[in-house]
Amino acid sequence: MAKKSTRRLLGSLWGYLLLAAVIWLWFLPSIGPGVIAALSGFVVLYSLFQAPMWCCAENRDGGLCRNNAYGLLLGCHFRQHKWQKLKMAVRQQYWGKLGRRVFSGVGGQAATFSAFAGMLSACVATATLIAK
Protein backbone atom coordinates (compact mmCIF):
# COMPACT_ATOMS: atom_id res chain seq x y z
CA MET A 1 0.00 0.00 0.00
CA ALA A 2 1.37 3.41 -0.95
CA LYS A 3 1.93 6.02 1.70
CA LYS A 4 -0.62 8.79 2.05
CA SER A 5 1.83 11.45 0.87
CA THR A 6 2.64 9.41 -2.26
CA ARG A 7 -1.05 8.98 -3.07
CA ARG A 8 -1.63 12.71 -2.56
CA LEU A 9 1.30 13.57 -4.87
CA LEU A 10 0.09 11.18 -7.57
CA GLY A 11 -3.42 12.56 -7.16
CA SER A 12 -2.24 16.10 -7.83
CA LEU A 13 -0.01 15.14 -10.76
CA TRP A 14 -2.30 12.66 -12.55
CA GLY A 15 -2.45 14.79 -15.70
CA TYR A 16 1.29 14.51 -16.29
CA LEU A 17 1.09 10.74 -15.89
CA LEU A 18 -1.81 10.73 -18.35
CA LEU A 19 0.29 12.75 -20.82
CA ALA A 20 3.03 10.12 -20.60
CA ALA A 21 0.41 7.42 -21.19
CA VAL A 22 -0.95 9.29 -24.24
CA ILE A 23 2.54 9.55 -25.71
CA TRP A 24 3.04 5.83 -25.10
CA LEU A 25 -0.37 5.00 -26.66
CA TRP A 26 0.61 6.69 -29.93
CA PHE A 27 3.07 3.83 -30.51
CA LEU A 28 0.50 1.07 -29.98
CA PRO A 29 -1.37 0.27 -33.19
CA SER A 30 -4.17 -1.53 -31.33
CA ILE A 31 -5.41 1.69 -29.65
CA GLY A 32 -7.76 3.76 -31.76
CA PRO A 33 -7.46 7.51 -32.28
CA GLY A 34 -10.77 8.12 -30.48
CA VAL A 35 -9.32 6.91 -27.18
CA ILE A 36 -6.19 9.00 -27.70
CA ALA A 37 -8.28 12.10 -28.51
CA ALA A 38 -10.39 11.66 -25.37
CA LEU A 39 -7.36 11.16 -23.11
CA SER A 40 -5.64 14.14 -24.72
CA GLY A 41 -8.69 16.23 -23.93
CA PHE A 42 -8.39 15.24 -20.28
CA VAL A 43 -4.73 16.30 -20.32
CA VAL A 44 -5.71 19.73 -21.66
CA LEU A 45 -8.43 20.15 -19.04
CA TYR A 46 -5.99 19.14 -16.30
CA SER A 47 -3.44 21.70 -17.51
CA LEU A 48 -5.97 24.51 -17.72
CA PHE A 49 -7.80 23.95 -14.45
CA GLN A 50 -5.96 21.59 -12.07
CA ALA A 51 -2.17 21.57 -12.57
CA PRO A 52 -0.35 22.84 -9.44
CA MET A 53 1.44 26.15 -9.97
CA TRP A 54 1.85 29.63 -8.51
CA CYS A 55 -1.00 32.12 -8.69
CA CYS A 56 1.00 35.00 -10.23
CA ALA A 57 -1.95 37.39 -9.98
CA GLU A 58 -1.10 41.05 -9.44
CA ASN A 59 -1.13 42.16 -5.79
CA ARG A 60 -2.17 45.58 -4.59
CA ASP A 61 1.48 46.60 -4.26
CA GLY A 62 2.18 45.62 -7.89
CA GLY A 63 4.03 42.38 -7.08
CA LEU A 64 3.03 38.88 -8.08
CA CYS A 65 1.16 36.53 -5.75
CA ARG A 66 3.14 33.39 -4.84
CA ASN A 67 0.27 31.40 -3.33
CA ASN A 68 -0.51 27.97 -4.69
CA ALA A 69 -3.08 27.90 -7.48
CA TYR A 70 -4.51 25.32 -9.82
CA GLY A 71 -4.26 25.38 -13.57
CA LEU A 72 -3.17 27.92 -16.12
CA LEU A 73 -6.43 29.86 -15.94
CA LEU A 74 -7.34 29.93 -12.23
CA GLY A 75 -5.84 31.88 -9.33
CA CYS A 76 -5.40 31.20 -5.64
CA HIS A 77 -7.87 31.30 -2.74
CA PHE A 78 -8.17 35.11 -2.67
CA ARG A 79 -11.44 36.30 -4.19
CA GLN A 80 -9.73 38.97 -6.27
CA HIS A 81 -7.21 36.49 -7.68
CA LYS A 82 -9.55 33.61 -8.54
CA TRP A 83 -10.54 34.78 -12.02
CA GLN A 84 -7.81 37.33 -12.80
CA LYS A 85 -5.82 35.01 -15.11
CA LEU A 86 -8.96 33.82 -16.90
CA LYS A 87 -9.95 37.44 -17.55
CA MET A 88 -6.46 38.08 -18.92
CA ALA A 89 -6.80 35.10 -21.27
CA VAL A 90 -10.03 36.51 -22.71
CA ARG A 91 -8.76 40.05 -23.32
CA GLN A 92 -6.25 40.21 -26.17
CA GLN A 93 -4.27 43.18 -24.82
CA TYR A 94 -3.26 41.12 -21.74
CA TRP A 95 -2.04 37.96 -23.50
CA GLY A 96 1.64 38.96 -23.29
CA LYS A 97 1.37 39.74 -19.59
CA LEU A 98 -0.39 36.42 -18.96
CA GLY A 99 2.32 34.55 -20.87
CA ARG A 100 5.08 36.15 -18.81
CA ARG A 101 3.29 35.30 -15.58
CA VAL A 102 2.59 31.71 -16.55
CA PHE A 103 6.20 31.10 -17.59
CA SER A 104 7.56 32.59 -14.35
CA GLY A 105 7.68 29.19 -12.61
CA VAL A 106 8.44 25.58 -13.42
CA GLY A 107 4.86 24.52 -12.67
CA GLY A 108 3.51 26.97 -15.24
CA GLN A 109 6.04 25.87 -17.83
CA ALA A 110 5.17 22.20 -17.30
CA ALA A 111 1.44 22.92 -17.45
CA THR A 112 1.85 24.97 -20.63
CA PHE A 113 3.92 22.27 -22.31
CA SER A 114 1.41 19.57 -21.38
CA ALA A 115 -1.51 21.72 -22.57
CA PHE A 116 0.14 22.26 -25.96
CA ALA A 117 1.13 18.60 -26.24
CA GLY A 118 -2.39 17.53 -25.32
CA MET A 119 -3.96 19.92 -27.86
CA LEU A 120 -1.59 18.75 -30.59
CA SER A 121 -2.29 15.12 -29.76
CA ALA A 122 -6.05 15.70 -29.72
CA CYS A 123 -5.96 17.50 -33.07
CA VAL A 124 -3.87 14.81 -34.74
CA ALA A 125 -6.02 12.02 -33.28
CA THR A 126 -9.20 13.76 -34.42
CA ALA A 127 -7.80 14.28 -37.92
CA THR A 128 -6.81 10.60 -38.02
CA LEU A 129 -10.27 9.61 -36.85
CA ILE A 130 -11.90 11.73 -39.56
CA ALA A 131 -9.55 10.48 -42.29
CA LYS A 132 -10.37 6.81 -41.58
The alpha helices in 2-102, defined as continuous H runs, are 4-12, 14-25, 33-49, 84-90, 95-102
**Residue 26 CB neighbour total at 10 angstroms:** 14
Confirm whether 126 is domain-assigned.
yes
Confirm whether 12 is domain-assigned.
no
Q: Which 8-state DSSP code applies to residue 70?
A: E
Residue 1, pLDDT score: 55
Query: Residue 117 sits in which domain range?
Result: 32-131
| Phi and psi angles of residue 37, each rounded to the nearest 5 degrees, phi first | -65, -40
Residue 114, pLDDT score: 95
Confirm whether 21 is domain-assigned.
no
Confirm whether 99 is domain-assigned.
yes
Confirm whether 104 is domain-assigned.
yes
Confirm whether 63 is domain-assigned.
yes
Dump pLDDT digits (tens) for 77-114.
988 888 888 888 888 898 888 888 888 888 889 999 99
The answer to whether residues 69 and 12 touch, using CB atoms and an 8 Å cutoff, is: no
28-31's contacts with Cβ under 8 Å and 24+ in sequence apart are none
Dump pLDDT digits (tens) for 35-82.
999 999 999 999 999 999 988 888 889 888 999 998 888 888 988 888
- Which of 105, 17, 37 lies closest to 65 in space, CA to CA? 105
Burial of 132 per CB tally in 10 Å (0-12, 13-18, 19+): exposed
Say how far apart CA 54 and CA 33 lie, in whole Å.
34
